[in-house]
Amino acid sequence: MPDFQPILTLFNLAGQHPPAIPQAAHLVAYGQQLSSLRSLPGVKIEAESSEVCIAAHITIAAGVRLDQPVHLCFGMFEQHGEQDVHLTLTLEPGAQAELWSHCLFATPQAARHAMHGEFRLMEGAVLRYQEAHFHGTSGNIEVIPCAQVLLEKAARFHADFSLIRGRVGLLDMDYRVDVGEAGVAELLSRAYGFATDAIRIREQVELNGPGARGLLKTRVAVRGHAHADVCGIMEGNAAGARGHIDCMEVVRDQATASAEPQVRVCHPQAKITHEAAIGSVDSKQLETLMARGVTPDEAVDLIVRGMLA
């Protein structure tokens, strides 16, 4: 029977209420060490660890619809360390699942957490993937999430990445999604940078199948001397492909930000739109809250927290 106390401690240190991990299909790892994994009927989880990485393979069987999320919990107790995760995830035809990845790095002074994901969603499969990071205040955490996602016919992928608790440190994110016929990809990324944090988000959605649809939504706030670069790329390569890029960045203090939405259309019946806004908080929003007695700083915080919620 694995000891779940350490992961519960990490959740507590991050100020988070821990989910019911022991009963759920899960994989728990500290640093490069596997702590626990559990498969359930229809959910096969295999993993092995070495000095250099954790390699995990998750398969959701055809037609299986999971009532409870699959939990991936990654954390670290040491003050310094690395964690490199290679994750292969397959949803067989018609499978539907929710996968929550909790990355708990409230304790380390300096750490590097890299994820290399290869996700394949077969025909009609649906995946809701939520990756939430919880950091401390050191600012020396490097987070490098990369994923290649393949959506086959009518598959749906909804991703929600957040790093809004604690200092970001360095975030260098790179997601690429290949969307097949009638597939849907929706990616939401949220980050809040302070002090000297650096945020780089690169997401690319290729709408390659007829009727494929995509949404890239990014919400980033930076303050202090933090910097954010957001690059969203959407390609419409087939008839009836519809895509949209929606990027909003709020900048305060001496922080800086850039947004680079790239729209590429290679088929006359495809359509991609985009909107991007960078700047300080909208003055009307600010004054609306101030007219309720809220100070300017509190108002900005409310607006930014709402945007990142």
Partner 1 sequence: MRGLPAQLRSNEKSKRASAMEPLLKLVGVQLTLQGRRVLEDVDLSLDAGQIHALLGANAAGKSSLAYAVMGCEGYQPDAGQIMFDGLCIDALPVHERARLGITLAWQEPARFEGLSVRDYLRIGAHGASVEECLLKVGLEPTEYALRAVDKTLSGGERKRIELAAVLAMCPRLVILDEPTAGIDLLSLDALIDLIEALKAGGSSVLLITHQSEVAAHADQASLLSEGRIVCQGKTPDMLEIYRRRKPLRC
Tell me which residue has tokens 């607006």: 303
CB of 294 to partner 1, least distance (A): 6
Positions of E strands within 106-241: 110-121, 126-135, 141-151, 156-165, 170-179, 184-193, 198-207, 213-222, 227-236
Could you say whether residue 307 binds partner 1 (CB under 8 A)? Answer: yes
- Considering only residues 217 to 246 of the shown chain, the ones binding partner 1 according to CB under 8 A are 219
Report how far apart, in Å, the C-alpha atoms of 193 and of each of 50, 75, 76 are.
32, 21, 21
Nearer to partner 1, 144 or 308 (CB): 308
Provide the CB-side half-sphere exposure for 237 (13 A, CA): 12
Nearer to partner 1, 150 or 289 (CB): 289
Could you say whether residue 289 binds partner 1 (CB under 8 A)? Answer: yes
Residues in the interface with partner 1 (CB under 8 A) total: 23
Nearer to partner 1, 79 or 280 (CB): 280
Tell me which residue has tokens 């202090």: 224
d(CA 16, CA 35): 20
- Considering only residues 246 to 285 of the shown chain, the ones binding partner 1 according to CB under 8 A are 282-285
Per the structure block, which two tokens stand in for 172?
Answer: 């260098």
CB of 299 to partner 1, least distance (A): 8
Nearer to partner 1, 66 or 302 (CB): 302
User: Among residues 66, 110, 188, 290, which is the contact residue for partner 1, using CB under 8 A?
Assistant: 290
Indicate the burial class of 100 (C-beta count within 10 angstroms; 0-12, 13-18, 19 or more): buried
Give the interface with partner 1 as residue ranges (CB under 8 A): 219, 282-285, 287-296, 299, 302-303, 305-309
